[in-house]
Amino acid sequence: MRLVLKLVLYLVFPLMFAFAIFCGIRYLIQPLTLSSSAMIPNLKKGEHLLIERFTLEQNKQLPRFSVVAMVPPYVDGKVFHEGQNEHIKHWFGNLTGLPGLPRDPVCIRRIIGLPGEKIQIDPMLGILIDGKQIDENAYISAKHAFNPDQSTKLLDQAETVPANSYFVLPDNRRDFGGSEAWGFVEKNRLTGVVSYKVVANSIKKLPDPSVTFSDPKVAFNDDGVKALHKSNFKESIALFYKSLSLDPDYQVAKENLSIAYSNYAFSKHETPKEALELLHKAFYIDPENEMTKKNLDCLLQLMGKDPKQPQDRIELAKQFLAENKELDAYVEFAQARLLGANPGSLSDMDKLARQNFSLDEICRVEMQ
């Protein structure tokens, strides 16, 4: 009997004590190997992260842009729900990490909207918080792929984030979803905050992007967004121009200026030549905008031109050149080159390219 007591005293108790410490540490800090590309380019598949619960346990509101680990409401397109027995098993599996025990599925997302804020999604502009467009270029890998066919009320009207809930999104918006599909995520679904990752046997803190709404360039951009939503195209162009005058590299305002010109062109569909000139400006400002490309091709077809034929683009370019509309000529020459036009027919393009049309030249007419 004494031998059994000694074994319990010297062997079992220390093991139980060590196991309790291990579970306590694991409860507060859990390792995770990222199994998806939802957070590229900031976090890549296969990277080792540390999920900490200290911040959650303080019961404070998490700041915007926090990267969090959470149990998603849906897994493989189905609602994720645990019965009481499953919940206990999952809780014990999460706590101990023992093989053979089930664990909750975990995904990583970024907090974008906070409790009490009004969130709205614009298919072209992105995320609006309390009516102001948020600049996310510091961390997103691709623009939103939202479209009016998606079944989310946020595309039609602003929704207020409820208390103890967050609006979360991945950094890779084209391939993964978040609150735009799930709805707002309750705080009790969060399992921790991701502030560190393990890199080359060392622990590295994740960068903490900060965005303010008080910067004058942002204020001009926000006002431009409001004017654009009201279809006040010239006013929105003037405001985006002011924003870019303060910071020529402010990408959000540059993209919005292109969108304003593209939408303005759409309103001029009854005067195709005028609409085409506006689309050329939109295209020159942001040649990667897919909507502008489609609108430009569609308009050319309505004008009896084949947008895929380089010769048709060259003829248009020469017409514009004869009218001293050099930006329009340059855009058409550039498209002809991409379509494989004969280099000999593009000699005028090189002269135009050296001009590097300024924002003042582009916006001059609409600013009058």
Q: Which domains does the chain have, with CATH numbers?
A: 2-71+106-205 (2.10.109.10), 216-367 (1.25.40)
Name the least confident of 85-89, 104-108, 128-132, 291-295.
85-89
DSSP, residue by residue, 102-130? -----EEEEEEE-TT-EEEEETTTEEEET
180 vs 354, more confident: 180
- Omega before residue 41 within 30° of 0, cis: yes
What pLDDT is stored for residue 235 in this prediction?
92
100: amino acid identity, one letter = G
What is the per-residue pLDDT for 342?
A: 80
Per-residue pLDDT tens for 297-331? 888 888 888 888 888 888 888 888 888 888 888 88
Q: How far apart are CA 72 and CA 182, in angstroms?
A: 8
Q: What is the pLDDT of residues 97-126, one digit of tens each?
A: 656 655 677 889 999 999 999 998 877 777
Taking the C-alpha atoms of residue 272 and residue 275, their distance in angstroms, rounded to an integer, is 5
Q: What is the mean pLDDT of residues 64-85?
A: 73
Question: If you average pLDDT over residues 39-43, what whole number do you get?
Answer: 87
- What's the pLDDT at 40? 87
Give the confidence band of 27 by pLDDT, cuts at 50, 70, 90.
low
Instruction: Give the Cβ contact number of residue 209 at 10 Å.
Output: 15
Per-residue pLDDT for 96 more than 60?
no
pLDDT one-digit tens code per residue, 171-187: 888 888 888 888 899 99
Q: pLDDT per residue over 149-171, tens digit each?
A: 555 656 667 889 999 999 999 98
Give the pLDDT band of residue 345 (cuts 50, 70, 90).
confident
Is residue 246 very low, low, confident or very high in pLDDT (cuts 50, 70, 90)? confident
Q: Among 349, 346, 279, 338, which residue's Cα sits nearest to residue 309?
A: 338
- 49/198 Cα distance (integer angstroms): 6
What pLDDT, in 10s, does the model give residues 222-232?
A: 889 889 988 99
How far is residue 37's CA from residue 312's CA, in Å, rounded to a whole number? 42
Residue 257, pLDDT > 90, answer: yes
Average pLDDT taken over every residue of the chain: 80
Bigger pLDDT: 193 vs 81? 193
